[in-house]
Amino acid sequence: MGVQVPPRTRTCTGLPAGGANDEVESVMADGLSANLENTTWQGEPSQCKFNFSTSPVFIGSLKGSFPVTAAQMKFGSTPQTSQLTFSLDLTGIKSSFSMVDSQLPNLVKNKPSKGLATFTSTDIAPSDSNWVIKGELVSDDIKIPMELTATGDEVGDEFVIKASAKRTFTAVKLPMAPEIPSVDVSVDLELYLTS
């Protein structure tokens, strides 16, 4: 991403190109603009998106989404001292298979989490023009390590995080179905946050 910074818009993910505005270069050198340091941004769930797709399973690929119920980006003085959290409502799944949409809520709604899954980052590091956000998505006794490749842009009074991840799961066991040797899962996340 370039770092030509128009008024009220800052690109907060990479290092500025050589010869860019010196003032921008000094505040962007650690991957954060000065006005993001030590601030907390809250998500607007109605604008946030968590979409997923899988490699073909049985009769085809599964595509869908989960509602984002909460999101927060707590910036430290650098990306490494910052933390991202977001929560998903697993009972609100919308997918390309109605059987999944009807069965998953029944499997998770009586669990202690009531079908809520929460991602908490454990490490955020700049990488080229992106951030690599590592963490875990947890729901009850299920813990899924995730590594998101993300960009973050401050636009007006919003901070927008767009991230993606890919992961392969092996020996997947589903209720009332034979074991699946492996499934590739892709995730796309958009979080719209305000301070």
Sign of the C-alpha dihedral, residues 66, 72, 77, 82?
Answer: negative
How many residues belong to the chain? 195
12-58 pLDDT, tens digit per residue, is 333 233 333 333 222 233 456 777 888 999 999 999 999 999 876 66
Reading the block at residue 149, the tokens are 């490749």
CA distance 60 to 96: 10
Cα-to-chain-centroid distance, residue 166: 12
The whole-chain average pLDDT of the chain stands at: 78
CA distance 112 to 183: 27
Q: Of residues 70 and 105, which shows the higher confidence score?
A: 70
Annotate 93-120 with b (16+ C-beta within 10 A) or e (fewer).
bebebeebeeebbeebeeeebebbbbbe
94-110 pLDDT, tens digit per residue, is 988 887 777 777 777 77
pTM exceeding the 0.85 threshold for the entire prediction: no
Q: Give me the percent of the chain exceeding a pLDDT of 70.
A: 75
111-131 pLDDT, tens digit per residue, is 888 889 999 999 999 888 889
Let me know: does 152 contact 190? Beta carbons within 8 Å: no
Let me know: does 18 contact 147? Beta carbons within 8 Å: no
From first CA to last CA, the distance across the chain in angstroms is 23
Rg of the Cα trace of the chain? 19
CA distance 113 to 145: 18
H-helix or E-strand containing 103? helix 98-108
- Rounded to an integer, the average pLDDT of 75-91 is 92
CA distance 156 to 160: 10
What's the pLDDT at 184?
A: 87
Residue whose tokens read 């595509």: 63
Residue 2 has pLDDT above 70, yes or no: no
CATH classification code of 13-194: 2.40.128.110
